[in-house]
Structures are given as C-alpha cells and as structure tokens.
Amino acid sequence: MRIKLLNIEKRGSIIVTECETNIGVFKGIWRSRQIKPVLGNTYHVELTLADIAYDEVSKCNSTEKPCFYTQGDNVRFIAVCEEFDGEVYFLRFADDSLQMLYIEEKEQHFVSNDVLSFEMRDDQVEIYPYSLL
C-alpha cells in the first residue's frame, strides 16, 4: 500500500506516524530503522494488526466501501473479507492492500464478500515501509 506521511509523533521510544492513503487516514507505529519517516514523503508499506476478539468486529452493510479513519488514538478499519483459511481472515482494503487479521474465535463467522468493521488503538497497528527495487 502506498502512504503519505502527514504527521510524526514521538511517544517515548516509539514513533507514531499519521498516514494518508487513497482510502483514508490511519495512525500506527513506524517499524523501520533503515527507512526513516520524513514528513510529506510517500512510502510503500505493509501493516501488521494486533489480534482482535470476535466481539470487536462487526459486519457492515454490503454497500460500505473499505476505508481507514482515525478517532483520537484509535483507528477504524472497514474492509472486505476475501477468505478465511481456518485461522486468519484475509481482508481487502484496496487493490494494493490485502491484510491478514487473526480474530480470536475458532469458528468461522464471516464469509467472502462480508464487509467488516473494527477498531484498535494506533499502537496496535505496525507500519513496515519497504523499497521497490
């Protein structure tokens, strides 16, 4: 996924960045020592999201579009479920963004094409920038 850095905040030993994408804005912990965050620059990134409990995920109206948005120190995610492999859900945010999410529940409750919504603190979102060669 491609992001643009809107804000960089130092919280103790971690760096929290606010990132703009083509589907909204989110915040998370910057996880790279080699690639330094620079305000206004764009990066390709992958995300790691914390595990989440089943009751923290809700099914949305099928007309909802995938998006991110921040509410204080929380991030709301809306994504389309593409698949469940028995352990993790594969969620589509955008053409260039497929995310794996482990929902702490053994039974499958969501199916392909369900639109899901969930929220987590920005320190539960990890941002891993990478370079395209």
- Using CB atoms within 10 A of its CB, is residue 4 exposed (0-12), middle (13-18) or buried (19+)? middle
For 22-77, give the DSSP string: TTEEEEEEE--SSS---TT-EEEEEEEE--EEGGGEEEPPTTPPPEEEEETTEEEE
pTM, whole model, 2 decimals? 0.91
Can you give the residue ranges of every domain in the chain? 2-130
**Full pLDDT tens readout for the chain, 133 residues:** 999 999 999 999 999 999 999 999 999 999 999 999 999 999 999 999 999 988 899 999 989 999 999 999 999 999 999 999 888 899 999 988 999 999 887 677 889 999 999 999 999 999 999 988 7
